[in-house]
Chains A and B, each alone.
Chain A
Amino acid sequence: MSTADLSRALWVFHMNTGSCNGCDIEIMAALTPRYDVERFGMKLVGTPRHADLLLVTGPVTRDMEAKAKRVYAQMPDPKVVMVIGNCGSTGGAFHDSYNLVGPVDRILPVDVYVPGCPPRPEAVIDGVVKAWKKLEEKGVKI
């Protein structure tokens, strides 16, 4: 599929549930001129109420569990959840901790996983395109 098939821009809300910032930096790199996902019409928004896509990084810490669920509930349908990074996908390096309740799919239903520690911006973009496709499918169903 090409981005010309996509009917609208993708609004993204990012949530850090305790990550080391590695993945967050690569998400940020995806927005900078070199990779520039903004030309695809992707935009970061400041509130989940406007978002289509929830980007989650980090193994969910105890404190963030309730917040993550709250953010997810605030997002309007159709919505997709994308986890970026190993620790959000499977726990990664933090697989045995007293303060973590993740990985993310224990807390939220996840549509796309982007493994890597951290994944390259190209992988993030690839994941976003897959998430976009899923979103379009969900939108059709509704």
Chain B
Amino acid sequence: MSGEDFSFEFSVGPLHPALKEPVRLDMKIEGEMVTGVDFELSQAHRGIEWMGSRRNPVQIVGLAEKVCGICNICHSTAFCRAVESIGGIEVPPRAQYIRTITAELERIHSHMLWAGIAAHELGFDSAMHYTWRAREKVLDVIELITGNRISKAMIAIGGVKRDITKEQAPKIMEAMEFYRGCFGRLKRIMLTDPVMKTRTRDVGILTRKDALETCAVGPTARASGVAKDVRQDEPYAAYQDLDVRAVTPKDINGEIRGDVYDRIAVRLYEVAQSADIIEQCLKGMPEGKIVHEESMPKLLADLKKLSGEGIGRHEAPRGEVFHYVKMTGEESPFSWKIKAPTYSNLLSWVPMLMGAQIADIPIIAASIDPCMSCANRAVAADGGRKALDKEALHRLSVRKTLEVRRRLGL
């Protein structure tokens, strides 16, 4: 059979699969196999970096949070670190710990969300509902601390906006106990279930060489054996007091294959790691101020005088977030560059999808945990020519799971 061009609108992203955040994945398919991959982020982008050149840094913290609904702590932290680096602003130790706790809570939320998506892509809808119900627990904790479920508005230049009180700490600990309890069940559902294993083992492999060359980040890279983790490589906030190491599949089951299974495993184990980090932070929380400068007018006046360049990095749930800021003694920064993790992981789609079966496309594409709104500061795809649409792909994936179950006699 000669190569046929199937071009279709494929929904990926950290959303309910029926909700659309499309990116166009153009694939060449021969028979059942993918022989060519191209993606088009032919999308609309909001021009956030440009908008930043018309606002002052305090307003930009709020704007940075709107880059992505899920990783809003990441972008605001990275931006604040960049500005603090320019001005030599010291963040009080207590604020560093609070930043770390909220960042890890965000990580738990993101990974639980993603686990539900992965389960759905494979046709395990009950697992999806379980993980999404479990995720509500961390959202309750986030709401307790920050006042909001999603858009946390917690980070300020020079510290954080709200303190974690003695009354809140036990509730956070209780939630961490809950997640530790979940962990066993999640492992059973996602890592030891034979059908799940068959669907994900040796599927969508990203070799170590490809991960290094495409400069992949986050769990995508770690699952291929590249131990990149900003919390380990360039420790900041409370991470420098704790011994946080990159989680790779070698720590989990002794070998590294760089497939979808490994990526699921790394994310699940990171949930457990985050629970540990949060507990350690709560136990070892320093006393003191939570922000460098409490008076907002004074802070703004100081920021207006700043001149220089700064870089802020943060380990988001999906990987490295990087912000570069240049200030020139004006109210607005002269230059602001955001790099989100999916930006670095896009190219890894190509080697992962080559040679894949059509029915595996949804889970492979979702396995890098793409966040399109981070990647291009907004997204959309043209209706365009479609031979296979998202619904059809999803049905193929579910059908394959049923076949596997039958084959295994389950």
A and B touching (Cβ–Cβ under 8 A): yes
Interface residues of A (CB under 8 A from B): 14-29, 31-34, 44-46, 58-64, 67, 70, 87, 92-94, 96-100, 117-118, 120
- Contact yes or no, B13 A21, CB < 8 A: yes
Return 26 A-B CB contacts under 8 Å, by A number. A15-B20, A18-B43, A18-B44, A18-B373, A19-B373, A20-B66, A21-B15, A22-B151, A24-B16, A24-B21, A28-B132, A29-B136, A33-B132, A33-B133, A34-B136, A44-B19, A58-B378, A61-B45, A63-B380, A63-B382, A64-B44, A67-B380, A70-B383, A94-B47, A99-B46, A100-B44
| Cα A5 to Cα B21 with chains together (Å) | 34
Bound-complex Cα distance A31 to B70 (A): 18
- A46 cross-chain contacts in B, Cβ below 8 A: 18, 389-391
Provide the bound-state CA to CA distance between A24 and B21, in Å: 9
A97 touching B151 in the complex, CB below 8 Å, given contacts A20-B68, A32-B129, A67-B383: no
Q: Which of B47, B68, B379, B390 contacts A100, CB < 8 Å?
A: B47
A25 CA to B379 CA in the complex, in Å? Answer: 16
Given the contacts A25-B70, A25-B150, A97-B47, A16 and B380 also touching, CB distance less than 8 Å = yes
* Residues B19 and A64 in contact, CB atoms below 8 Å apart: no
- A100–B286 alpha-carbon span in the complex (Å): 45
A70 to B383, CA, bound (A): 10
Q: Is there a chain A Cβ closer than 8 Å to B67's Cβ?
A: yes
| B372, closest chain A residue (CB) | A21
In the complex the two chains form, what is the Cα distance from A132 to B72 in whole Å?
32
B149 touches A120 (CB 8 A): yes
Q: Give every chain A residue within 8 A of B151 (Cβ-Cβ).
A: 22, 117-118
C-alpha gap A16/B129 in the complex (Å): 23
CB nearest to A31 among chain B residues: B16
| Interface-centre pick from A16, A34, A59 (highest chain B CB count, 10 A) | A16
With a cutoff of 8 Å between Cβ atoms, the chain B residues found around residue A15 in the complex are 20
A16 touches B19 (CB 8 A): yes
Contacts of B149 on A, CB cut-off 8 Å?
Answer: 26, 29, 118, 120
A122 to nearest B CB, angstroms?
11
Closest A-B pairs by Cβ, 7 of them: A61-B44, A22-B69, A18-B378, A63-B44, A28-B16, A44-B18, A21-B69
Question: Which of B44, B72, B382, B389 is in CB contact (< 8 Å) with A99?
Answer: B44
Q: Is the CB of B46 within 8 A of A59?
A: yes
The answer for the CA separation of A33 and B129 in the assembled complex, in Å, is: 7
Q: Are A25 and B383 in contact (CB under 8 A)?
A: no
Known: A61-B46, A63-B380. A94 touches B51 (CB 8 A): yes
